[in-house]
DNA sequence: TCTGGGGTCCTAGGACCC
DNA sequence: TCTGGGGTCCTAGGACCC
């Protein structure tokens, strides 16, 4: 999906082996078919790809999450215009509940209409799978992609043909089966999706969990997770980043943490949430022999989304830091989330309302004039920092920044 | 020898997803 | 030199309740 967005923004990338890099331009997180054909692996470090002569033609882009987010929103909004029940599953996937038969035509027609509209309104190519359960729909969609068909509708297939597809599908490709389960299932002689569909559900549940049992039942055609199942409220909010350059002094780390805490608090406010518990951690590269990892939990009582309180809480991990050791990652995890203002404390005075208005005003100013014109305490007026993440190959933000809007003459 | 029978809430850790 | 950033769900176990 990231590569598809880059190709909408820059059509000259069509047909070229294209990859999108992770934050900090670290490794490949999205690959075009042409890039996959050249043997580039998911997660392969950019410094390795860059120096291989046979990969010289590969075009790399830094992640442009603002654009991907905007395209994702348009994608989901477009799907919703043609479907009565949809479930946003991920940035680039949606489940759509289709009536068995309707006056508007059969299921495949509806799916094709959605794909057509998504293509015309967003420019994104899609593949679709239709099945009696979510897990089977995912099997169908994978199959469509693998044979370069826009769509596969399993509900029109004869029963034994579905069985053949499942028998030809490695169990590791089934939605919900990762590497650990693949290993464990192999021990029971379960190697394909068909093996799993016919396995003893009780054994699966006792040996692993109800999650695996549901996956097996869904492969057998029994829906266990209805479309549109309303997800529970968000339970955690994380903001973590690798640093563009290692940070080894407490002084500098203090401003890193303040910046991250301010961002996390800003996202809390954007969701109308407040947090009761914060975990903050710093660590050095996991590829070092003497990796250091320190973390601390801080209770936020009463729960809050006030940037000043979150920023000062973020300092709690600093005493554990080894002065002089190169740290390259920091993160803030906020949990115990609740609707802002929903849990008035009986023991502590409510927060000063002017503090909330101040946070809202700072948000509004930053939205309108940029993050560099206003900031909190140690984050200061935000010029570029030594430790900012690297994004050296960023595409233009054609749909999220006015000043980068494409000019057509 | 022997020591009830339920519950809830919280946390840590493991598995998975994109 | 260089290796991402989020999330979810489930289970086990401990603390605590009546």
pLDDT tens for residues A20-31? 999 899 999 999
pLDDT of residue A358: 92
% chain A with pLDDT above 90: 54
pLDDT tens for residues A260-283? 999 999 999 988 888 888 888 898
Distance A199 CA to C11 C1' (A): 22
Nearest nucleotide over every DNA/RNA strand to the A91 CA, judged by C1': B18
Distance A336 CA to B9 C1' (A): 13
What's the length of chain A? 409
Nearest CA to A118 among A149, A90, A85, A94?
Answer: A94
For residue A196 the two structure tokens come to 């799993």
> Residue A102 — pLDDT band, cuts 50, 70, 90?
low
> Residue A230 — pLDDT band, cuts 50, 70, 90?
low
For residue A240 the two structure tokens come to 């973590």
Residue A104 has pLDDT above 70, yes or no: no
Q: With beta carbons less than 8 A apart as the criterion, state whether A59 and A18 touch.
A: yes
pLDDT of residue A335: 87
Distance A363 CA to C3 C1' (A): 34
- The pTM for the full model equals 0.89
Residue A342 has pLDDT above 80, yes or no: no
pLDDT of residue A375: 86
Number of helical H runs and strand E runs in chain A: 14, 12
Nearest CA to A70 among A134, A9, A132?
Answer: A9
A177 or A276: which leads in pLDDT: A177
Q: In sequence order, what DSSP letters do the residues of A126-178 get, joined into one string?
A: --EEE-SSHHHHHHHHHHHHHTT-SEEEGGGS-HHHHHHHHHTSBGGGSTT--
Distance A47 CA to C1 C1' (A): 10
Q: Name which of A100-104, A304-308, A375-379 the model is least confident about.
A: A100-104
A176 or A286: which leads in pLDDT: A176
pLDDT of residue A71: 95
Q: Which residues contact A111 (CB under 8 A, 6 or more apart)?
A: A96, A98, A128, A130, A151, A153
Average pLDDT over residues A75-82: 94
> Residue A344 — pLDDT band, cuts 50, 70, 90?
low
In this structure, is the CB of residue A92 within 7 Å of any atom belonging to strand B?
A: yes
Average pLDDT over residues A250-254: 91
> Residue A164 — pLDDT band, cuts 50, 70, 90?
very high
Residues 170-189 of A with CB under 7 A from strand B: 174-182
Start-end of H helices in A208-272: 210-219, 250-270
Cβ-7 Å neighbors of strand C? A 22-24, 26-27, 29, 43, 45, 47, 205, 209-211, 231-232, 234-242, 267, 285, 287, 328-329, 331, 389
pLDDT of residue A212: 92
**Chain C bases having any atom below 7 Å from a protein CB:** 2-11
């Amino acid at each position: 999906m990231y590569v598809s967005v880059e190709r909408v923004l820059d059509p000259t990338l069509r047909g070229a082996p294209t990859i999108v890099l992770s934050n900090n331009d670290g490794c490949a997180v999205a690959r075009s078919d042409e890039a996959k054909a050249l043997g580039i692996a998911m997660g392969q470090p950019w410094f390795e790809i860059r120096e291989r002569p046979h990969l010289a033609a590969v075009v790399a882009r830094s992640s442009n999450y603002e654009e991907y987010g905007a395209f994702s929103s348009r994608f989901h909004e477009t799907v919703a215009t043609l479907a009565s029940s949809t479930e946003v599953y991920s940035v680039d996937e949606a489940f759509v509940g289709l009536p068995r038969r309707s006056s508007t035509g059969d299921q495949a027609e509806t799916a094709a209409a959605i794909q057509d509209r998504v293509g015309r309104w967003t420019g994104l190519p899609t593949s679709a799978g239709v099945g009696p359960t979510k897990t089977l729909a995912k099997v169908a969609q994978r199959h469509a992609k693998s044979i370069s068909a826009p769509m596969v509708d399993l509900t029109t297939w004869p029963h034994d043909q579905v069985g053949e597809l499942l028998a030809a599908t490695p169990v590791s490709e089934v939605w919900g089966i990762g590497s650990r389960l693949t290993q464990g299932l192999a021990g029971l002689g379960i190697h394909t999706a068909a093996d799993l569909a016919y396995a003893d559900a009780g054994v699966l549940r006792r040996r692993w969990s109800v999650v695996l049992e549901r996956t097996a039942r869904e492969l057998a055609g029994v829906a266990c997770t209805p479309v549109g199942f309303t997800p529970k409220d968000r339970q955690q909010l994380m903001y973590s980043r690798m640093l563009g350059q290692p940070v080894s002094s407490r002084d500098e780390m203090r401003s890193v943490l303040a910046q991250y805490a301010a961002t996390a608090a800003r996202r809390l406010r954007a969701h109308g949430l407040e947090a009761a518990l914060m975990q903050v951690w710093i660590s050095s590269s996991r590829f070092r022999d003497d990796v250091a990892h320190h973390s601390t939990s801080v209770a936020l009582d009463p729960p809050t989304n006030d940037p000043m309180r979150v920023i000062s809480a973020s300092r709690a991990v600093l005493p554990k830091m080894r002065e002089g050791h190169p740290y390259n990652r920091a993160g803030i995890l906020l949990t115990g989330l609740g609707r802002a203002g929903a849990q008035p404390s009986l023991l502590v005075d409510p927060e000063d309302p002017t503090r909330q208005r101040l946070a809202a005003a700072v948000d509004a100013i930053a939205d309108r004039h940029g993050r560099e014109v206003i900031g909190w305490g140690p984050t200061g007026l935000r010029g570029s920092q030594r430790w900012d993440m690297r994004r050296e190959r960023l595409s233009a933000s054609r749909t999220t920044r006015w000043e980068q809007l494409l000019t057509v003459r």
